[in-house]
Amino acid sequence: MNVTFTGIKNDKYPEFSLKPQKERKKYQDPLNSWKFRWMSYSNEAGTFISEIAPKLGAALWVPSFMYIGADVYDKYKNNKDKYDPSARRAFDRAIYQGISNLAALPLLITAGQKIVSPLGMVLGNKISIDKKAVILDHINKVLMQGVNEELNDKETFRKLVKVTLENKMSSKKSEMQNDNVLKKAYKFLTNKYTIALGNKQKTIDYAQKKADELFEIRDLLLSRDSSKKVSASVRNKYFETLSSMKSMHGFDYANNAIRSALIKVCNRQMFENKILKTMGGFVALALFGTTVSKYVEKKLVGTYIDGGLNFAYKGFQNTNLKRVFDEMANKS
């Protein structure tokens, strides 16, 4: 331990005094401890899970805004461990936090999720993961809208899926032609146009393949076949719904039970697609997150933005406006 002595003067040994004083510890930002620091990453966690839990994903942005507000206020009020208010220091911190935590890293995660989607095209069906998700969502909505007698015949069900899908594709193409630039940008980013893009026949073929798979599950459930093609959770959903319908109405509502089971199948497959995209975002952050943060802090903010602010500040010092503000401050 390094010790210095202060207090009573001693001519023979001037470096000594009665009271030893410990060497001052290096300053550590209290908001940098993990007690608070985790809050700054909550919006990134929200971006991760936005595909599988949108509401929770949005809610996880709140702690990040709270942390950034506290961090900016702290940097305004204190210069490390000294009280020294500075609007410029707070402004610099707000710019860094805004670009890094609220923009750059969430965009990196989203880019990772987007990059994963086209990988689906190298697998069997030549359909992107995003398009598969939209097709499954469409079939799911068809089932939820009261399909009943259509489940008695395979070709009828296939035709229903095809016709409704073609109508949706036409509707989205019409939107693409009529929407303004801002709407188009938003809908491209949120996959609203996905169903209308690419090869129409491949889209319909994939949808009908899924319809065939669902009808096969329907047949296995009705025959009470214990095939592994039907998961235990889907089978349980079918029998639970069937039992409740019989107790409520006194007779067999098999198609309603089938519909509930098939909706569960679609939901599970959509969830699997979302997990793949979520993993893409995780990989992107793991590989490039540190690099992006350092670039924002040292180059984007440290060099370019700070340089521009310094230039503007020096220019302001030489203007008449600065003298006016000084005179007003002196009068007050």
With a cut of 70, list the residues of the chain below it in pLDDT.
Answer: 1-25, 27, 34, 120-125, 146, 247-252, 306-332
Residues 132 and 274 reside in one and the same domain: yes
Residues 248 and 132 reside in one and the same domain: yes
| 167 within a domain of the structure (yes/no) | yes
Residues 143 and 242 reside in one and the same domain: yes
What was the pLDDT predicted at 23?
59
What was the pLDDT predicted at 145?
84
What was the pLDDT predicted at 14?
52
Residues 209 and 266 reside in one and the same domain: yes
Could you tell me the residue range of the domain that residue 155 belongs to?
Answer: 124-279
What was the pLDDT predicted at 21?
53
How many structural domains compose the chain?
A: 2
What was the pLDDT predicted at 5?
46
Residues 218 and 237 reside in one and the same domain: yes
Residues in the chain: 332
Q: How far apart are the C-alpha atoms of 259 and 264, rounded to whole Å?
A: 9
How deeply is 100 buried, as exposed, middle or buried, from its count of CB atoms within 10 A (0-12, 13-18, 19+)? buried
Torsion of CA 46, 52, 56, 62, to 10 degrees: 20
| 4 within a domain of the structure (yes/no) | no
What was the pLDDT predicted at 37?
74
Residues 110 and 215 reside in one and the same domain: no
| 313 within a domain of the structure (yes/no) | yes
Under the phi-then-psi rule, with left for phi > 0, alpha for psi from -120 to 50, and beta for the rest, what region is 126? left
Q: How far apart are the C-alpha atoms of 307 and 318, rounded to whole Å?
A: 17
What was the pLDDT predicted at 172?
92
Tokens in use for 91?
A: 């402004």
| 20 within a domain of the structure (yes/no) | no
pTM score, two decimals? 0.68
What was the pLDDT predicted at 322?
52
